[in-house]
Amino acid sequence: MNADPLKLGRFTGQFHALLRIVTSLLFIEHGSIKLLGFPASPMPRPPLASLMGVAGGLELVGGLLVLLGLFTRPVAFLLSGQMAVAYWMAHAPQGPFPATNMGEPAVLFCFIFLYLAAAGSGPWALGSKAANP
């Protein structure tokens, strides 16, 4: 029996890159809401030196670096940690289950960025092939 009847395994690299690109675009949006007010949000913009301001900077700049495939491993590791801290500080005190404490996005971002920290950027990246096998 063929383990890959649709022969999708040949697209592993492209799926890896798509995961990196889509995740980064969604993450950048969180930073742009906080720092640039775009897309429009009822929440006021935080001061840059505040915890939310720093988080927005990491989301915007870190997300852009991962999107481009530059310094993917260290940046993704940093962003994974940021999302772990965000979950435990903002969501876990609201209850034990991510589905009810609204922490699902933080958990997903945390583990996707942890995967990218281990696996690198994959294809379609500006980083060198040696740094991103």
User: Is 58 in contact with 51 (CB distance < 8 Å)?
Assistant: no
Residue 7 has pLDDT above 50, yes or no: yes
Mean pLDDT of 74-99: 97
Residue in the structure block whose two tokens are 């590791």:
77
Per residue in 62-72, pLDDT (tens digit) is: 999 999 999 99
pLDDT band at 1 (very low <50, low <70, confident <90, very high): low
Q: How far apart are CA 10 and CA 79, in angstroms?
A: 29
The H-or-E segment that residue 26 falls in is helix 12-36
User: Is 17 in contact with 122 (CB distance < 8 Å)?
Assistant: yes
pLDDT band at 24 (very low <50, low <70, confident <90, very high): very high
For residue 81, give the nearest of 54, 50, 43 by alpha carbon: 54
pTM of the model: 0.91
